[in-house]
Structure 1
């Protein structure tokens, strides 16, 4: 009698589970959430990394006296550390503020009679004024141009003056606060600096303001290499 070697019968194939609308909606929401997180990460860290890289390049070009940079000046604020240096560009458009400080049109140039008014981000795009609330009267703001280095001293605490972005009096040649007794530059100073930034880290229509005045000017030599900047205490 022959032996049989028949294999056991195969188990029935499992029926394919069909994914319903809830699965695809959930997957779509997950992907959308990841996209939003990626966008936020780029806004908070990516744009700052990119801005710092661009700033380093333009600072080096400016310090060499190269005309390959469109920076007007360099800003140093000792309160923010010895390595703090940020370029200044003409205008206050979003493209300008993404790169560093913006110089308000129709305001004075560094060292001139009038109001040298600057704007900078508190968050994203290099965030040059992230720590503006830490500034105090007596802190120095050093502005280096190709012709001279100008030292300003702040007279007001930025935490004491927050205005709507529509209050453009802070950009006037000699700002006068329309609120009686409100913070404004002292009348005896004629060469002013104004720093403006968002009053909060995230989106706001209000601006934090600090005023200061010029206390020193150091001309650069017309010929030969410019001296390296020194730290001002």
Structure 2
């Protein structure tokens, strides 16, 4: 008579789910693995989104007030030109910072590295070449030149303050992207993500088009001629 120990399968063989549970744990751990400097990346992206929003709002208010001036413009031509450039940069950084936050929330990683590096470089170059001169011109404006129109003079003082806040916020955004540029490069080299193929995916979904082309071959059928008697 065979003993019970001879016919009883081993516990490891009796539990077919043990291997699958271990694989699932490994997959979960792999999916939850964070990239290097993940927290720094998130913090810098949030700073960029916040100060880009401030710069966008205040620059837009100044542009609207300047365009609605009853007796011309509140800003000189050179300052107006630079404000419009700063407004465009704030739109760029505002869009990409929120897209990066959406991508981090969805896939725990920002957008494509090369796109972010281009945005960082463009932001730093344009802001450094525009904001300091714009600040200097802004604070050299003279509200008293609108006197005796006290309303216009007071509006000019408000424009100087609002524009100052917008330009300083733009400089903060440029500093954030200046710090973020080497952080992105070092994190990419350390993780080796620059060697992986980059997929074109929009955060939250994919856009895919499938199409097929078929060539139908038409055969000509010749009908026999029927001769009449």
TM-score greater than 0.5 by the shorter chain: no
- TM-score computed with the length of structure 1 as normaliser: 0.24
Structure of greater Rg: 2
Greater percentage in strand: 1
Which fold has the larger relative contact order, with Cα–Cα distance below 8 Å and residues 6 or more apart in sequence?
Answer: 2
- TM-score computed with the length of structure 2 as normaliser: 0.24
